[in-house]
Amino acid sequence: MRRIILFTGIIALLLGTASCSKKNIDPSTPTNTGGGGGVTIPNGKPLPSGAGDGVTYINSGTSAIFNIYAPGKTSMAVIGEFNNWAPTAMTVTPDGNNWWVQIDNLDPNKEYAYQYLADGTLKIADPYCEKILDPDNDKYIPASVYPNLKAYPAGQTGIVSVMQANQPTYTWKYPNFTRPDKNKLVIYELHVRDFVGTHSYKTIADTLNYLSNLGVNAVELMPVNEFEGNSSWGYNPSFYFAVDKYYGTKNDLKALIDACHARGMAVILDMVLNHSFGQSPMVQLYFDKTTQKPLSTNPWFNVDPRHPYNVGYDFNHQSAATKYFAKNVMKFYMQQYHIDGYRFDLAKGFTQTLSTDDASFAAYDASRVAIWNDYKNFINSIDNNNFYTILEFFGGDREEKELSDNGMMLWNNLNYNFNEATMGYVPTSNFSRLYFSNHSGFTQPDNIVSYMESHDEERLMFKNITYGNSSGANGYNVKTLATALARQEAAAAFLFTAPGPKMVWQFGEVGYDISIDVNGRTGEKPLHWEYNNDPQRHKLYATFSKLISMKINNPVFATSNITYSSSGSIKTASLTGADGTNVVVAGNFDVNSQAATIAFPSAGTWYDYMSGTTVNVTTPFATTYAPGEYHIYSSKALK
């Protein structure tokens, strides 16, 4: 997420934020050991056996142990509907790190609102909650999206937590999903708010035919854990275990993931652990209201960010407390939501090495590699069955190569280069970085996730129509809708034939042409599902579908044996598969016709995949391509 973000409420008033709680996913995981300075509290009492972070239910849910990590506090108490909001004092552990108390006489079937009271004055959230109530924003969530939402408790202030022992269960229908191989992975990135008008998981689940017919085999959801406000990209997170209610219930999300698995589609979550925002109880517990910065005693956050692209408050990923928390977040969605991968936002920011500009931020950082290797090894310890760990990194090749060697996948942004090609500006349209061999040290394509568009880039079709090139000689004009769409086809042909995983941003397959800056960069964008009724746009959708099917079903597109020429008007790529299949891709990205000599590996009959015809090739193969014309030739008929 490298951008300037205009989130409202970047610094929340530290008056009364709370969270809901949850039992530690793995009871064998030790209590938070972020460090308490080695002190021993004479009257401290150890946590009861089996008590995890947040709330642990015992006695069939009629009792609960509340546990919060808050080293250095003079007192902690829990307040809630179970004690009429009168503070119940908590006991500190002997190491001074954790505070806990047992509350009895609970109704296991009832939702209780609660908060923590720190040092007698600050009401905060439980960082491990799975549900919160927001007095300012919940009223805008329709019952159709979140039915029977608990009312905010009268007389309280700030965010409150919600706890319930006997929560509605979800029975997984497809618990043994087999994830697509990385090299066959075609990811569809979408934002729940801007993909369907109801901004709900349920409607997306009802819309999966659209994605199935397109042929993608993975869905990447922009952040879905609670963030500040309702309408957001989600990169202003505050609660990491609570699914944002603006999109639906947590069982709605599980049902969506299950429905994706039923259709052979993996689900990847966008995870934001570079930073958090002021509504976070972890920020609030140790915060200087005068400087509006975290205190130096904050176990999780830096006083000042360590890199120039930070927003909100910067996590210190060398802190034991941060590592512990981040790993619990990662484990939670893997185990509780059956997800198949993470895309980690601003992954280059996981460093304590100070940088002040692009060059120093991108410089090789061994400590950052060590942090990511630690996280990846932890992820593998939870699920080593082809779980996708994708980093928005944008670092140097050496560092990315080392991360790739440990199985991590790197976002490969080709928006500028592809858009220059689709607009018809050849000198700046070199997209050789599409190919893994142009990344120093890379010997395989599996871990480079290439894309023409993402949530964070201007839409190709907007620039085609607004700034596209033209030719006075033949009347060819990229700004014409049909021409702009046809050039998207040519670009997609090169994207999907290049070996390695690929990503599509929502509605790029129908030529979405609304600027990213409409209604503000992160603001709501208009839906245009009617684009599917436009024959010209549907032709682009059908082309994407055909190209995706081709990529997934033919092993040649997983080869590491590839040569390419991407700098001129005529761009080509030549692939040789392990089974002897040869593929030649060629296209003209100029706005004028161009003579071309295409280097086929052999003469004879070749198959033109897109037209379904054959061509008799003699070598050298000399031809002339019209502007925007492209072909995918193969020595054998492709599936």
Residue 110: name the closest of 61, 153, 159 by CA.
61
**Domain segments of the chain as ranges:** 184-272+316-557, 562-634
Query: In this model, does residue 79 exceed pLDDT 50?
Result: yes
Beta bridge partners of 450: 412, 502
DSSP 170-212: ---S-TTPPPPPGGG-EEEEE-HHHHSTT--HHHHHHTHHHHH
Round the average pLDDT of the chain to a whole number and report it: 94
Q: Model pTM? A: 0.94
What is the chain's length? 639
Q: Which residues contact 46 (CB under 8 A, 6 or more apart)?
A: 93, 94
Percent of the chain with pLDDT over 90: 92
Give the pLDDT score at 41: 85
| Mean pLDDT along residues 311-337 | 98
End-to-end CA distance of the chain: 37
Confidence of residue 38 (pLDDT cuts 50, 70, 90): low
Q: Which residue has the tokens 């517990």?
A: 285
Using alpha carbons only, give the angle 636, 638, 639 rounded to the nearest 5 degrees: 140
Contact assessment for residue 604 and residue 561, using Cβ atoms and an 8 Å cutoff: no
Measured between alpha carbons, how far is 562 from 437 in angstroms, rounded to an integer?
8
Q: How confident is the model over 325-346, as pLDDT tens digits?
A: 999 999 999 999 999 999 999 9
Measured between alpha carbons, how far is 185 from 501 in angstroms, rounded to an integer?
5
Query: In this model, does residue 532 exceed pLDDT 80?
Result: yes
Query: In this model, does residue 28 exceed pLDDT 50?
Result: no
HSE value, Cβ hemisphere, 13 Å, CA-based, for 313? 31
Q: Which residues contact 153 (CB under 8 A, 6 or more apart)?
A: 81, 85, 113, 133, 160
Contact assessment for residue 392 and residue 343, using Cβ atoms and an 8 Å cutoff: yes
Give the pLDDT score at 275: 98
Q: How confident is the model over 583-609, as pLDDT tens digits?
A: 999 999 999 999 999 999 999 999 999
Which residue would you say has higher pLDDT here, 261 or 28? 261
Amino acid, single-letter form, for residue 316: N
Give the pLDDT score at 167: 95
| Mean pLDDT along residues 11-29 | 37
Contact assessment for residue 258 and residue 270, using Cβ atoms and an 8 Å cutoff: no
Domain boundaries 562-634, CATH class: mainly beta
Number of H helices, E strands in the chain: 13, 30
Confidence of residue 34 (pLDDT cuts 50, 70, 90): low
Respond yes or no on whether the N-terminal peptide bond of residue 427 is cis (omega within 30° of 0): no
Helical residues (DSSP H) of 198-319, grouped into ranges: 201-206, 208-214, 250-262, 281-284
The CATH fold of domain 184-272+316-557: TIM Barrel (3.20.20)
Query: In this model, does residue 21 exceed pLDDT 60?
Result: no
DSSP letter assigned to residue 503: E
Give the pLDDT score at 23: 46
Percent of the chain with pLDDT over 70: 94
322 phi and psi angles, rounded to 5 deg:
-65, -45
CB atoms within 10 A of CB 276: 26
Q: Cα 241 to the chain's mean position, in Å?
A: 16
Q: How confident is the model over 214-270, as pLDDT tens digits?
A: 999 999 999 999 999 999 999 999 999 999 999 999 999 999 999 999 999 999 999
Residue 348: name the closest of 337, 339, 358 by CA.
358
DSSP 2-24: -S----TTSS--TTB--------
Measured between alpha carbons, how far is 304 from 331 in angstroms, rounded to an integer?
28
Confidence of residue 7 (pLDDT cuts 50, 70, 90): very low
Query: In this model, does residue 446 exceed pLDDT 60?
Result: yes
Query: In this model, does residue 449 exceed pLDDT 60?
Result: yes
Residue 273: name the closest of 317, 324, 232, 332 by CA.
317
Confidence of residue 40 (pLDDT cuts 50, 70, 90): confident
Give the pLDDT score at 32: 55
